Amino acid sequence: MSEETRKSFHHQVDEVRAEIVRLAGLAVEALPQGTDVLLSGDLELADELIAREREVRRRCVAVEDRCYQLIAMQAPVASDLRQIVTVVRMTAEVERSYALVVNIAKAARRIYGSPLDPRLRGLITSMSEHAHQLMKFAVDAYVEADAGLAAALDDMDDMLDLLHADFIAMIFECHAQGEAELKVAVQLAMIGRFYERVGDHAVIIGKRVRYMVTGDLPERADPSPPPSLASA
């Protein structure tokens, strides 16, 4: 590879890296917005989040396709190849994370107008804040190539798992006391799972970062695609 070709290649790698960071940023920003839809009943914001999903998906596909072109045309090796492979794998995590926020917004529309127990609202806020922090740290780890921060995400996710368990228990309690209709309780249980899955995707991004930095392949423990909700 000539010096000029190498410079062009690295410039293109920098471009796809910048784009996946921008897309991940959209997912990070969308999470508190989805929570706002749920807690404040902002249906206009819900529509905005849902409408933006197609654009996020299109851009993720475009980034992935460009990465495949770079691999096919430049045949990168070692750290260069790891950089591109990491972007490819991150596109799926970013796309799914945004889809989970959309699912939260759709579920919020289904229970619009239903009162939520203050304890449930508090746990929703806590789950949202923790999931948001996990995603932000995952993106920071990628941008800074920080394998240590990436490795710490798995332990950080334990708190979100505990919050999710508390949330499910509180849903059962509220339903048993007649404070949450069954259809509302079901939607809330799904919402809790969506937040928990966002944390899972952040952890997987962390594993991709560790691979990018160290070359160690992550264990295959990816979560299955998010459960879909019928369009409202």
What is the reported pLDDT for 75?
A: 76
Q: Considering only residues 112 and 179, tell me which one the structure prediction assigns the higher pLDDT.
A: 112
Please tell me whether residue 1 adopts helix, strand or coil conformation: coil
User: Any residues with CB less than 8 A from the CB of 48 and at least 6 apart, and which?
Assistant: none
Evaluate whether 160 touches 227 at the Cβ level (below 8 Å). Answer: no
Domains parsed from the chain with CATH numbers? 3-214 (1.20.58.220)
b/e map of 117-150 (b: 16 or more CB within 10 Å)?
beebeebbebbbbbbbbbbbbbbebbeeebbebb
76-119 pLDDT per residue, tens: 678 888 999 999 999 999 999 999 999 999 999 999 999 999 99
Residue 114, token pair as written in the block: 């239903």
Round the average pLDDT of the chain to a whole number and report it.
Answer: 90
User: In this model, does residue 156 exceed pLDDT 50?
Assistant: yes
- Distance, in Å, from the CA atom of 118 to the CA atom of 7, rounded to the nearest integer, reads 56
User: In this model, does residue 167 exceed pLDDT 70?
Assistant: yes
Quote the Cα angle for 192-195-199, to 5°.
Answer: 135
User: In this model, does residue 204 exceed pLDDT 80?
Assistant: yes
Confidence of residue 10 (pLDDT cuts 50, 70, 90): confident
Window from 1-5, 107-111, 114-118, 227-231 with minimum mean pLDDT: 227-231
For range 175-199, the mean pLDDT = 93
User: In this model, does residue 158 exceed pLDDT 90?
Assistant: yes
CB atoms within 10 A of CB 113: 5
